[in-house]
Chain A
Amino acid sequence: MTAGVKAGPPLRAEPARRHTGWRRQRRWVLPVAGAALALVFLAPYVVMLLNSLRPSGDVVRTPPTFLPREWQLSTYAQILGDDRFLAWLKTSLLVATASTLIVIAVSVPAAYYTARFRFPGRTAFLLLVLVTQMFSPTALVVGIYREWFNLDMVNTYAALILTNAAFNLAFAVWILHGFLASIPKEVEEAAHLDGCSRLGTLRRVLLPLTMPGIVTAVIFTFIAAWNEYVVALTLMIDEDKKPLTVGLTSYVTGYEQHWDQLFAASIVAIVPVVVLFAVIEKHLIGGLTAGSVK
């Protein structure tokens, strides 16, 4: 990665004594640069927000303007009263919640067992999980479609939920494995001595200690399922069974152009997950790179 030289001047903080001038300046230069950087990453979403606050005709009107010529808040009320939108929202909530519950129920025992015990096949299992993380549903979409087609489960919530759960399992196992492995064995042994069964120890002692990991896995899985596109696009045929990501796009097609509704619905779809993501910001990298860092 020698190309990185171009990326930045030596950005490391300098000892204060040598550069008193810079030290005084950086107190305002850095926040200003930070604001500029933040603006770059928020810009498309600002456009999204502004477009959701103007009538559709104003979005596609020449000459274009940055700010709405006419402000319109009623779009939000409109989509929240739109049966199609509510059906998509329901699917997204149902699929994301059910996938998350399955992932947690399945990954906690697996992570606990691999973190605590040595057994034949342990390495093979962890390697299998790592390889799964490399598989994307996109690359396998034809195979996924064939499987549910053969089982006559195309266009069912169950197919979408199970697919989402399976492809997000690896991340959850890795991050929980890391959390559980870091809890000293003595804690568990003490609980055993006090007469706690293995399942009781897991529930009363280890799970509370692993809460940050579980919260991270829950939020990450929920968001991944909430944002999933290609499998839902392929499997869900009925209009009212589509999730938000797929449904939204039908606000603007060859037949209808409701730009205002598209953007308002987009805002409704992304604001909750952005807030959730910010909550677990600190723990995200741990799970995603766990397989390689360890």
Chain B
Amino acid sequence: MPRARSDRASLGSALLWLGPSLLLIFGVVLYPAVELVRASFSRFSITGLRLGDAGTRNYQAVLEHPLLGTVLRNTLVWVVAVVTLTLVLSLGVAQFLTKDFWGRKVVRWAVIVPWAASLVITAKTFVMIYDYYYGTLNLLLSKLGLGPVDFLGSSTWILPSMVLVGVFVSIPFTAYVFVAGLHAIPQEVYEAAHVDGASPFQTWWRITLPLLRPAVLVAAVLNIIYVFNSFPIIYVLNDRNPGFTHDTTITFMYKLAFKSAEKDVGMSAAAGVFNVVLILLVVLVYLRFTRWREQTR
């Protein structure tokens, strides 16, 4: 039977078709993960040569780092603030973008720009926008009589300033996920609600929001991963400030290996292992959520 033959396949031919993918995934995605763990138990010279075993010393060094608490708190604030604000604002943007109006195509195109543009370049532009002396934002604030604010140089303002850029670049993708979710809601449901005399608010609260739940979950988890891993915004906006006071765990890890005075690859790798474990935990939660959704369907 030709059907049976084309449906079933042997492991051998599977390896032939999937081989290149597996090679790339194992060789360049999973192997670095192994290298990361190996490096976290090693000592390195400043030029990057492996000197020998370090036991758990690198992990201890990370856990005993005087600024670890600050870095963890920054990370928590950064992830929670950016993800929450992004989700809330994106919902508004998405509902607006699903309306029918003149020029909608152009607006959708404009919303896509921060998503397509390189994050470093956007961040560099924001450095100029936020600048104390020459920044556009301070020009605007001065005109309103609110005086110039040192957005990137004051410890009060730097985190909110970074969060704003984080939200700005996360909205496009999130709004698009919600637009897709809103399109997936069948029109008949709204018609039925209308026939039953539901008010616009009731319709939104009892129909739109619950039916959008899968999209919200997907957007939330993907955003947590992206925002947690976000590097360019913090690295670029925080560039002029010394030390780790305004870093998240990701930029902290990077600076340990490549930018700090110590250039401590082993300690950075240990910090990296902590990061990966944290992300994997999020992935597990994510997979659990999706399974949960299928059960309830």
Contacts and interface: CB of A to CB of B under 8 A. Distances in A.
Contacts of A244: 118
A131 interface: yes
B93 interface: yes
B91 A7 contact: yes
B201 A37 contact: no
A35 to B, nearest CB: 7
Contacts of A112: 17
A38 B172 CA distance: 11
B229 A138 contact: yes
Contacts of A135: 29, 33, 276, 279
Contacts of B276: 135, 139-140
Contacts of A38: 106-107, 110-111
B17 A266 contact: no
B128 A59 contact: yes
B279 to A, nearest CB: 6
B81 interface: no
A41 B17 contact: no
Interface residues of B, number: 123
Given A146-B32, A270-B118, A262 B124 contact: yes
Interface in B6-20: 6-11, 13-14, 17-18, 20
Nearest to B127: A252
A207 interface: no
Contacts of A249: 120, 124, 236
B110 A42 contact: yes
A15 B117 CA distance: 39
A172 B257 CA distance: 32
B157 to A, nearest CB: 18
B286 interface: yes
A273 interface: yes
B243 interface: no
Given A37-B107, A139-B276, A167-B29, A62 B133 contact: yes
Given A134-B283, A139-B276, A293-B214, A105 B20 contact: yes
B228 to A, nearest CB: 8
A166 interface: yes
Interface centre among B11, B93, B136 (most CB of A within 10 A): B136
Contacts of B199: 10
B138 A64 contact: yes
Contacts of A236: none
Interface in A228-246: 229-230, 234, 244-246
A223 B121 CA distance: 14
A132 B25 contact: yes
A273 to B, nearest CB: 5
B176 interface: yes
Given A7-B88, A117-B9, A139-B229, 17 more contacts: A1-B220, A3-B88, A11-B99, A12-B190, A41-B114, A41-B171, A44-B126, A109-B21, A117-B7, A117-B8, A119-B10, A128-B25, A134-B286, A141-B253, A192-B6, A266-B121, A277-B116
Interface of B: 2-3, 6-11, 13-14, 17-18, 20-22, 24-25, 27-29, 31-39, 48, 84, 87-89, 91-93, 95-96, 99-104, 106-122, 124-126, 128-129, 133-136, 138-139, 142, 168, 171-173, 176-177, 179-180, 190, 194, 199-201, 203-205, 208-209, 214, 216-218, 220-222, 225-226, 229-232, 236, 250, 253-254, 257-258, 265, 268-269, 272, 275-276, 279-280, 282-283, 286, 290
